[in-house]
Structure 1
């Protein structure tokens, strides 16, 4: 979560962001009605037009002809124009959108801290390009409910709410292995708990004919270098990109443990446990490999254990997917991904009138009501699902209307500590297993020592530094660079003035945070 998409090779320049921030001037727009957080709308007023851009992990996108889309319009008295942006191309397209100066009423961004987009957004906020929503939020009970309190508080910038954070539970998300449990069972293997067991499991998936067709045509794990990034955290016993050691924060780019993680990935690559095009696969290609029925696992948030299952079951009806709870690294410490209580932010540009800001907030408030949350997650009761013995049972119409891909849930995530592991149509026993894994993950506490820390040097230089480090790692993994070349690269990186400035600033921010 956060995620979860490939990094792009280009960044929009800071000057583009500043040009944009000066161009987003206040204009009078919006209609006279008010979307209701209670869902009844203004029956006599004209609907409020709301344009939205948001990330989506679906393979197909719905439009205004979809019944669920129309139901949201009806409940909130709005006319929606939604631009679904594929996760594969999101960062590239959001940069183009920011540079264009033609932002929708609600613009979703994944991160307002890290480069490349974060620094641009923060500069735009300083320039007055987006609304400060702090004075308005008190009037929207669902956005400020006890369940959203931590989400709203932790998403503040300099003590103010410039964004509407998208709720996401702290556990259950993040890129982490999901494995073919039916293959484990067939080969007599247990769910791996250590990095060594994980390696041996993937090797068995490749070599022991788990699909039983008598051919050597299976893949251990569907991934690219970016989607093996969790291994660097496992080996470093930390969340994020910084490691607390001896009272100081150190970049995991330069840690010895990261070299060990890289060598683990290289060994797996050398043994053919990844797809042949491992070095260059994008998100959709990884999905294709995973859903082909020929891969033993892939890295996803936990809900994908069910949402990715249907394509695999078309190949093998007995297929079953199960997330790994945690992995124990070389030092004996358990790791599982966890994060902030939100994933992504919505911003409202200043070109939107104050009257319309309130209508947009009412729309979002409805989405975070119990009714709106349930509608976004499961669709229209009696149409897309029925409740049987307290369980949600999806209908065939849910499949036709693509409710199961959770597109509307991309806008408002369900407020539920288990929402990252659920999906429409998930059987009760499957959901119970998912919840049990989350409960076990909650017992694994791995700190993210740089959470909330800001460094201008980091925002300015880190993205390019990390790209170079990622490129070097990939070259070593696929045999295009030697370990001697890698060691020299790391030595040069430690001596790099920009890297040293980043480390200095982030440690100053860390020490300052300890005094608060």
Structure 2
């Protein structure tokens, strides 16, 4: 399965992938569909179903209705698609504007299911409860049960999730394995090991040019944030403590993580300007061969390795399986098992709802998945020894990053596969994925909703981040941070958020 950081242009797949960025898997789906979910026949007397879609697009070039794959997907699904692509930079704003306008497309992509306006719309009956329909679409079973469960609202399925592997994504370290080998170092297992490796990467000339010009961990503010979760032995913004949810931002363990990061900075082991760097800067650091580690999803390891091997044939950037915190517990980033989801507004008549679901169901079939991710065999890709190799036509038809969704029947490929990845790298990624599954603590707040958190937490988190940066840079002492956290614990907004989250937890448990 192919996955590019810029998932964007597609179209139909968008619809598909988009629609379920979920689609992707491999063969023919003939004989797998339930009666209510039969793939619409192209041609004949059946009129194509018009479907409007608004969805996020990470690409630099958006596919339009003249795109070959757009037309192919319309033909196979007997649809006419009207897709509005939205940049990730303003997807939340665009979604809120759309919800407020009432002019909602047939399929609306929600990046964050806790958006207050969406929750309000659901509570007011503005979106279909899809729960009674789902059983009629056989390919929806290819979506992992946890994705359906974790996207429920008040116990019902108002959305169709875009599945995403629970581990393997997120900003967790990739590391230069060839540098480890050259310096006779083992893959780090603990945070202390990690710091020692970074010191060697900075001080022991791993690139062999006779100069101390390498970076240990090429970092942004976001790619350092996993340390706060690691030290708290949890994923997300909350952890369970004596049966109650507490925000990790105020925990003592987060103070320890802050001091650890400050130590990395003071020792010159991370990018000195981490607080203002963007992802493009980290890409440059890795591609230029000057960084020993950086935070990315697993499948990016081969992407960077392939670029480096153009000039350094033995280069190898591989994912860490996990890191152990001070208490010895293994940690890696975990997600809720989905990345966004699609809702259907109640203004859509039931007959059309069923056709939209059939369209989505096709996207989750092996055939739809394969089409969305690879295109057409011997046109967009060739296959040998179980490995797919893309052709130039693949790029010309904007398949790269536009039609790809989740490989439902083997969904870990979304984070373990990159275009052109060699078998040995793929097998290593699968091994690391399995190790990460055993090292990922759960996010106890998944499925809980607090309107106060949706409205107020972003501002609180920004204030915390600002204080943390000042401490790391030496602009504030740790004592100032302590006073800040003491005040934050009594902040009326955080108290309100915490109460609502625990009320939601109690209701869920009941």
- Normalising by structure 2, we get a TM-score of 0.84
- Deviation of 1:89 after TM superposition, in Å, equals 4.7
- Normalising by structure 1, we get a TM-score of 0.84
- Deviation of 1:382 after TM superposition, in Å, equals 1.2
Structure 1 residue 489 corresponds to structure 2 residue 484: yes
380-389 or 271-280, larger mean C-alpha shift: 271-280
Corresponding residue for residue 137 of structure 1: 134
Q: How does 1:195-234 map to 2 (within 5 A)?
A: 195-234=191-230
| Structure 1 pair 178–413 and aligned structure 2 pair: CA distance change class (3 A) | farther
Cα deviation code 1:322-372 (max 9, x no counterpart) = 110000001111111223232211122344444433332222111100111
Matches of 1:412 and 1:101, distance apart in 2: 33
Matches of 1:336 and 1:204, distance apart in 2: 23
Corresponding residue for residue 371 of structure 2: 375
Cα deviation code 1:485-512 (max 9, x no counterpart) = 2111100001112222222332333344
Structure 1 residue 363 corresponds to structure 2 residue 364: no
- For residue 191 of structure 1, the aligned residue among 166, 177, 187 is 187
| Structure 1 pair 206–105 and aligned structure 2 pair: CA distance change class (3 A) | farther
Matches of 1:206 and 1:59, distance apart in 2: 35
Corresponding residue for residue 303 of structure 1: 299
Contact 1:36/1:77 (8 A) holds in 2: no
Corresponding residue for residue 49 of structure 2: 48
Structure 1 unmatched runs, 5+? 6-34
Structure 1 residue 435 corresponds to structure 2 residue 430: yes
Corresponding residue for residue 104 of structure 1: 105
Corresponding residue for residue 344 of structure 1: 340
- Deviation of 1:119 after TM superposition, in Å, equals 1.9
- Deviation of 1:84 after TM superposition, in Å, equals 4.0
Cα deviation code 1:133-162 (max 9, x no counterpart) = 22332332212x165444223322112221
Higher relative CO (CA 8 A, sep ≥ 6), structure 1 or 2? 2
Q: How does 1:14-53 map to 2 (within 5 A)?
A: 37-38=38-39, 40-53=41-54
User: In structure 1, the residue corresponding to 2:294 is in which secondary structure?
Assistant: strand
- Deviation of 1:314 after TM superposition, in Å, equals 4.6
345-354 or 170-179, larger mean C-alpha shift: 345-354
Structure 1 residue 501 corresponds to structure 2 residue 502: no
Structure 1 residue 122 corresponds to structure 2 residue 123: no
| Structure 1 pair 383–305 and aligned structure 2 pair: CA distance change class (3 A) | same
| Structure 1 pair 284–360 and aligned structure 2 pair: CA distance change class (3 A) | farther
Corresponding residue for residue 78 of structure 1: 79
Structure 1 residue 330 corresponds to structure 2 residue 326: yes
| Structure 1 pair 91–299 and aligned structure 2 pair: CA distance change class (3 A) | farther
377-386 or 349-358, larger mean C-alpha shift: 349-358
| Structure 1 pair 154–85 and aligned structure 2 pair: CA distance change class (3 A) | same
Matches of 2:148 and 2:43, distance apart in 1: 28
Structure 1 residue 472 corresponds to structure 2 residue 472: no
Contact 1:418/1:438 (8 A) holds in 2: no
Q: How does 1:57-96 map to 2 (within 5 A)?
A: 57-58=58-59, 60-96=61-97
Contact 1:293/1:315 (8 A) holds in 2: no
Matches of 1:201 and 1:256, distance apart in 2: 26
Matches of 2:272 and 2:450, distance apart in 1: 38
- Deviation of 1:104 after TM superposition, in Å, equals 3.3
- Deviation of 1:237 after TM superposition, in Å, equals 0.6
323-332 or 303-312, larger mean C-alpha shift: 303-312
User: In structure 1, the residue corresponding to 2:249 is in which secondary structure?
Assistant: coil
Contact 2:389/2:420 (8 A) holds in 1: yes
Contact 1:37/1:369 (8 A) holds in 2: no
User: In structure 2, the residue corresponding to 1:277 is in which secondary structure?
Assistant: coil
Corresponding residue for residue 21 of structure 1: none
Matches of 1:371 and 1:346, distance apart in 2: 21
